[in-house]
Structure 1
Amino acid sequence: MAAKWIEALTGSLEQKKQYKNAKGRIDALPEPHRTAAGAMHRYLMYYGGVTDGDTLTQMFVDLADLWERASIDGIPVGEITGDDPVDFTETFAQSYAGTRWIDKERARLAEAIATARRHEEERS
């Protein structure tokens, strides 16, 4: 009973465990994969904007999977990210079609403009 109440306030405890596990896997990578994965993780925290916990958790689990596999296979960082690591990371994030914080703001902007146009038409 208490767990459901706590989760209602803070979000899924299972998602938090999965996220912590994925972050720990990234932190445990050997160099230079640890640095690259950590940098992507940090960028995704700012850029991703995903608000759906399941989607966000899956994105970070997949990030850990990607860099673990690259490390195990000995794939150089540049072969993963290519020449433009920002483009690679943003494309990676766009693969996760969850609800993003900007979606709410887009809807708010569209509604505000529609309201303004209705007021304008009423005065005409």
Structure 2
Amino acid sequence: MEALYAFCVGLLTACGVFLVLRSRTFPVVMGLTLLAYAVNLFLFASGRLVEGGVPVVGQSAIYADPLPQALVLTAIVIGFAMTAFVVILALRARADLGNDHVDGREEQSHGEPN
């Protein structure tokens, strides 16, 4: 189970970094969101993935740690706020600059000189 979670964290991180390096704002926003999901999954997986563990200390000494779950819940709220802020920032940049490139420059064709 841990190997599956590790693979998913790696895949989400790789896709997120790939999208953050794009020149348009929408893929950058999606990349930041995927990176936030990767961090959330990593935090969740750090809390021992056990099946059949008792959620409250009782008869079994093996139980899930509630701290990573609380951290993930907080990170989800922070990630949503960050995504909303970046979307509003991208819309404002699109309105002010007239394009949606991250650097603010127009896309050049291959035949035009600089």
Question: What is the TM-score of this pair, normalised by structure 2?
Answer: 0.31
Decide which structure has greater helix share: 1
